[in-house]
């Protein structure tokens, strides 16, 4: 899952993240410590090192791996079986912009492990992934004389983490900003995240039941709404595959994906307090089903204030699925300027561990945050319990593959300036003194008016 909708605007404004030496100590709560940093070398002499993007995990032959994407520097497959001594096991050389990764398996391919890897706005046609796909017979080179590769998604086999290999390529002319694989492993839904220039917003549905021969089987048209755009930016499936939840830039969309080849819209809904719908995940807390929607304020171009975009929470239990009921809003409460004047401090890629009642989230310049969501069952909202913020942080995603019985875990932050950061959350140590700000729906409506894209939000409001 899942990157900012308008990184192209950031680059156009000259706000390219700079490589910096990884600081060994930063601001943090007592229960979080820094373990290790694994930087990514630039794939070519003119490139930018690091630029970490999405991250997913896989257990392969009894060992645990983190699959960490990047802008143009390939997919880094890191052995995290012993997180204190993590090592890069292999690199999938694929010079693309986006680098969103999804890991999947298929019942009729026992023992094999696959991943999708997305090319959105740029692909280096000479990098290994394109050359391997071309050798397999796929038409992957643009015909405009640019020597660039086409946009879409690669399917790569990572069964041998030290030697990832291209299996196929699914072309998507509008690009693959994010790619979400149905739990069956047989279909993937493409989010192209195009802005208002897109004439007919739609989710491309791609059959990957034969990973070597992906093909598009249809599109799910999305309602056109006013705003930044209404294409899907990111999609999360329910564990049983019966529902898909799309954050579609200017709207939220709940999809019936029981028949994944023929999805249908359950509902599309709006919230004027959300600036950019970026990620939308379902979670059960107590007896209720909720939808967590993250607002990547101004597409991460919202200015050097902290914080900007946060989380909007909806009750979608039972009949409320047809008309989600907002129950509150949460954001970090450390108000001020970012460490870097070209940075931003909006919520970004997150993961939720339902059984533990924990959410992890990256905040770009704001570093990584651990949030207790169990209070929703008692009407108490969300509460930050841990944080770590390096002085040069620009963290895109923050996730963990598992939480231990006592609530402790290793947290992995994929960072644009630093590469892969590994942290330790100690559940027995004192929690963060800063718990964040929880607003009621009425407060959120009053204090978080929808702002034009690129206009900084008044972060001081969040301190109330």
Number of H helices, E strands in the chain: 3, 32
Q: How confident is the model at residue 450 (pLDDT cuts 50, 70, 90)?
A: low
Q: Count how many residues are written for the chain.
A: 464
Q: How far apart are CA 125 and CA 96, in angstroms?
A: 9
CB count within 10 Å of CB 337 equals 14
Q: Which residue has the higher pLDDT, 299 or 435?
A: 435
At residue 446, the pLDDT reads 87
At residue 370, the pLDDT reads 98
- How much is the average pLDDT of 336-362? 95
CB count within 10 Å of CB 308 equals 30
Q: How far apart are CA 32 and CA 26, in angstroms?
A: 10
Residue 27 near residue 389, CB atoms below 8 Å: yes
Tens-digit pLDDT profile for residues 152-165? 999 999 999 999 99
CA-to-CA separations, 109 to 64, 85, 117, 210, 459, in angstroms, rounded:
20, 31, 19, 10, 50
Q: How far apart are CA 151 and CA 245, in angstroms?
A: 24
Residue 30 near residue 429, CB atoms below 8 Å: yes
* Range in 23-27, 110-114, 127-131, 424-428 with the lowest mean pLDDT: 23-27
Phi, psi of 6 (to 5 degrees): -125, 45
SS3 447: helix
At residue 9, the pLDDT reads 32
At residue 147, the pLDDT reads 86
Phi, psi of 299 (to 5 degrees): 60, 35
- Supply the mean pLDDT for the chain: 91
Residue 70 near residue 418, CB atoms below 8 Å: no
Among 61, 53, 39, which Cα is nearest to 4's?
53
Q: Which residue has the higher pLDDT, 21 or 285?
A: 285
Q: How far apart are CA 247 and CA 401, in angstroms?
A: 23
% of the chain exceeding 90 in pLDDT: 83
At residue 46, the pLDDT reads 86
**Which residues are 337's β-sheet partners?**
305
Contacts of 368 (CB under 8 A, 6+ apart): 360, 361, 362, 387, 388, 389, 393, 395, 398, 411, 413, 421, 423
Residue 423 near residue 44, CB atoms below 8 Å: no
Among 164, 147, 153, which Cα is nearest to 189's?
153
Model confidence at 203: pLDDT above 80: yes
Q: How far apart are CA 235 and CA 192, in angstroms?
A: 11
Among 357, 341, 343, 283, which Cα is nearest to 314's?
283
At residue 426, the pLDDT reads 98
Element (H, E) at 155: strand 152-157
Q: How far apart are the first and last CA of the chain?
A: 32
Q: Which residue has the higher pLDDT, 12 or 416?
A: 416
Q: How far apart are CA 20 and CA 15, in angstroms?
A: 15
Q: How confident is the model at residue 226 (pLDDT cuts 50, 70, 90)?
A: confident
- How much is the average pLDDT of 429-440? 97
At residue 196, the pLDDT reads 78
Contacts of 41 (CB under 8 A, 6+ apart): 49, 73
Contacts of 438 (CB under 8 A, 6+ apart): 328, 329, 330, 380, 381, 382, 383
Residue 450 near residue 458, CB atoms below 8 Å: no
SS3 10: helix
Residue 29 near residue 218, CB atoms below 8 Å: no
Tokens of 119: 């090319």
Tens-digit pLDDT profile for residues 9-25? 333 323 333 333 444 68
Tens-digit pLDDT profile for residues 316-332? 999 999 999 999 999 99
């Amino acid at each position: 899952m899942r990157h900012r909708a308008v990184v192209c605007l950031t680059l156009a404004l000259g706000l390219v993240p700079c490589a910096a030496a990884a600081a060994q100590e930063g601001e943090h709560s007592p229960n979080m410590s820094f373990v290790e940093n694994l930087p990514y070398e630039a794939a070519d002499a003119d490139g930018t090192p690091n630029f970490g993007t999405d991250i997913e995990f896989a257990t392969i032959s009894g060992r645990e791996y983190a699959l960490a994407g990047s802008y143009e520097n390939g997919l880094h497959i890191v052995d995290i079986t012993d997180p204190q001594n993590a090592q890069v096991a292999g690199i999938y050389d694929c010079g693309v912009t986006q680098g969103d990764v999804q890991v999947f398996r298929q019942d009729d391919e026992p023992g094999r492990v696959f991943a999708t890897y997305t090319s959105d706005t740029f692909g280096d046609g000479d990098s290994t992934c394109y050359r391997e796909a071309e050798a397999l017979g796929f038409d992957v080179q643009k015909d405009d004389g640019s020597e660039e590769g086409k946009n879409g998604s690669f399917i790569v086999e990572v069964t041998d983490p030290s030697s990832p290999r291209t299996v196929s390529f699914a072309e998507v002319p509008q690009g693959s900003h994010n790619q979400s694989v149905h739990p069956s492993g047989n279909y993937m839904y493409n989010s192209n995240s195009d802005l208002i220039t897109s004439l007919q917003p739609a989710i491309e549905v791609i059959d990957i039941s034969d990973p070597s021969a992906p093909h598009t089987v249809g599109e799910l048209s999305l309602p056109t709404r006013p705003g930044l755009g209404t294409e899907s930016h990111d999609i999360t499936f329910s564990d049983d595959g019966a529902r898909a939840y799309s954050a579609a830039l200017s709207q939220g969309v709940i999809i019936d994906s029981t028949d994944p080849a023929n999805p249908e819209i359950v509902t599309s809904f709006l919230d004027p307090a959300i600036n950019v719908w970026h990620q939308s995940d379902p979670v059960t807390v107590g007896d209720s089903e909720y939808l967590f929607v993250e607002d990547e304020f101004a597409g991460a171009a919202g200015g050097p204030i902290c914080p900007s975009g946060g989380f909007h929470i909806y009750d979608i239990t039972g009949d409320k699925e047809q008309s989600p009921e907002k129950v509150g809003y949460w954001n970090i409460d450390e108000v001020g300027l970012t460490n870097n004047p070209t940075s931003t401090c909006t919520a970004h890629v997150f993961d939720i561990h339902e059984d533990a009642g924990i959410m992890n989230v990256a905040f770009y310049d704001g570093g990584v945050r651990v949030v207790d969501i169990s209070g929703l069952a008692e009407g108490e909202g969300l509460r930050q319990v841990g944080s770590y913020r390096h002085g040069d942080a620009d963290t895109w995603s923050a996730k963990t593959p598992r939480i231990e019985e006592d609530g402790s875990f290793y947290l992995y932050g994929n960072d644009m300036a630093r590469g892969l950061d590994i942290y330790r959350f100690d559940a027995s140590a004192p929690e963060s003194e800063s718990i964040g700000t929880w607003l009621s729906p009425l407060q959120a409506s009053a204090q978080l008016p929808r702002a034009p894209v690129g206009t900084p939000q008044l972060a001081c409001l969040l301190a109330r």
